[in-house]
Structure 1
Amino acid sequence: MSIDLDGAVAVITGAGSGIGRAAAHAFVRRGARVVVTDVDGERAAAVAGELGERAVGGRCDVTSVGDLEAVRDLALDHFGRVDLVMNNVGILAVGPVEEIPLEAWQRVIDVNLLGVVRSNLVFLPLLLGQGSGHVVNTASTAGLLPYGFDRLPYTATKHAVVGLSESLALYLRPRGIGVSCLCPAGVATNIVEQVTLYGEQSQPRGPSFPVLDPETVGELVAQGVVDGRFLILTAPEAADEVREHGADVDAYLARLGKEI
């Protein structure tokens, strides 16, 4: 289910840099107005400044329903409506699974998964009330494939975001609302700032996907929304991996196991 971005109002979390910032620019180039939010309010304000009068910035911690409600109210006060919500915040805990503490799991789940849940609770009533809109959830190829065992909390939450998004799409489509799930592979962002390391580090082998710049990914997101695509990949090669994985999970895991 597609949406016309010309004149639409988009709210983006985690838009102070990287994919979120690039998506904000891509949306505005297509005529949208954007509420740029980030846990770093100064970054959000800076990106909004880049976009001029078609944007407004605000601080938002997605672990706070109150912050999300404030962003909703900012969008309504400034632009009068909300048409698109992009949930784009993610953090990582990296290390051997037996050395990642429970508190780290709880933090990653609270941000990566429950951040989307809170956003749905705040914004879906608006979209359902108007009978139109679009939701974009940023997951990862690590949410489609099993190679990310060195960042298992992240991998688990991104798998959850994919499943949530698929089911949400089935629920919302008859109600006039589209859903897209962005599953980026390698993207040159500053997500390293959101990484907490535990124990001895290793690099599991997995599919080798090209690393894209955020601007290219932002364009892919905007075009995917306009085209009404559910699954937005940054690496077409990932589709081949997903097909192989789906055809025979045991064989796929056995192949990966030989490469580790």
Structure 2
Amino acid sequence: MTRPLTLTGAVTAVTGGGSGIGRAAALAFARRGARVAVSDLDLDRALAVAAEITAAGGEAFATRVDVTREADFAAWRDAALDRFGQVDLIMNNVGVLALGAPESLPDEAWQRVLDLNLMSIARSNRVFLPLLLAQGHGHVVNTASASGLLAYGFDRLPYVASKHAVVGLSEALALYLGPRGVGVTCLCPSGVITNILEQVTVYGEVASSPRAPDHPVVPADTVGDLAADAVTQGRFLVLTAPAIHDELAARAHDLEAYLQARISEQTP
């Protein structure tokens, strides 16, 4: 079990908080008594979410943050400290997709996805972890994906690679931060009703994924509640499709057999 965090009175900072899972998590944290620093590249969306929270009786403010800029993270952290005096939780939630056949994806597709999905967490770590470590408590939530656990999405290879990296990063981070009083949660949703399609770049013709799991598509609000509950319960892995556990067990038991079976499903 990772270290739980009481959200009542805590200060939570959420990237990509203007829509989708980020918005849902910001609202879920607020419903549990947290004060929220909402950030998004689209300031109007962040302002709207902060207004929702304050209209419901909570405390929140909004900041425009470009997660490719470490200076934006630092300015946002300082704004949260000025406003609330502390930061207890950072949720790294920004994610984008590049679609295309593996042999057709240019460097720019890889660079954009890795910069936003993975390197943004490295920047966040440098800005926020010293604060959490100094105070000896806190929590980090990293939004990965079921695609970071099961590599079925060959039509979105940079996304799969980035989310696998986020899962591994989060696990290693939990080993480092746990003994120091800071918890880590890795959020791995399957299908979620969000506006991520706005962030999709398509390169050439896109073939369908070989075998996307038959998992239910859930509302973003459900995922937000799952993330908030995991923080308060001290859970590391959060899934929206519990059936993934069985597939992960089969894969771990015999990776060769598992992969050959998946390949056979696609053989004409």
* TM-score for both structures, normalised by structure 2: 0.96
C-alpha separation between the residues in 2 aligned to 1:198 and 1:259?
Answer: 26
- Tell me the residue number matched to 1:174: 179
Aligned length: 260
- Tell me the residue number matched to 1:225: 231
The one of 118, 142, 165 aligned to 1:113: 118
- Tell me the residue number matched to 2:95: 90
- Tell me the residue number matched to 2:38: 36
Q: Percent identity?
A: 62
- Tell me the residue number matched to 1:10: 12
The one of 151, 167, 170 aligned to 1:165: 170
Give the deviation of 1:206 after TM superposition.
2.6
Any idea what SS the aligned residue of 2:238 has?
A: strand
List runs of 5+ in structure 2 lacking aligned partners. none
Give the deviation of 1:130 after TM superposition.
0.2
Residues 81-230 of structure 1: matches in 2 within 5 Å? 81-204=86-209, 205-230=211-236
- Tell me the residue number matched to 1:240: 246
C-alpha separation between the residues in 1 aligned to 2:256 and 2:147?
Answer: 18
CA RMSD of aligned residues (A): 0.8
C-alpha separation between the residues in 2 aligned to 1:161 and 1:247?
Answer: 23
List runs of 5+ in structure 1 lacking aligned partners. none
Give the deviation of 1:103 after TM superposition.
1.1
Moved over 2 A (4+): none
C-alpha separation between the residues in 2 aligned to 1:241 and 1:202?
Answer: 24
C-alpha separation between the residues in 1 aligned to 2:64 and 2:252?
Answer: 40
Supply the AA of the counterpart residue of 1:41: L
Supply the AA of the counterpart residue of 1:91: V
Give the deviation of 1:258 after TM superposition.
2.2
Supply the AA of the counterpart residue of 2:231: V
C-alpha separation between the residues in 1 aligned to 2:17 and 2:71?
Answer: 18
* TM-score for both structures, normalised by structure 1: 0.98
- Tell me the residue number matched to 1:19: 21
Give the deviation of 1:259 after TM superposition.
2.3
Supply the AA of the counterpart residue of 2:250: E
C-alpha separation between the residues in 2 aligned to 1:19 and 1:203?
Answer: 24
Supply the AA of the counterpart residue of 2:221: E
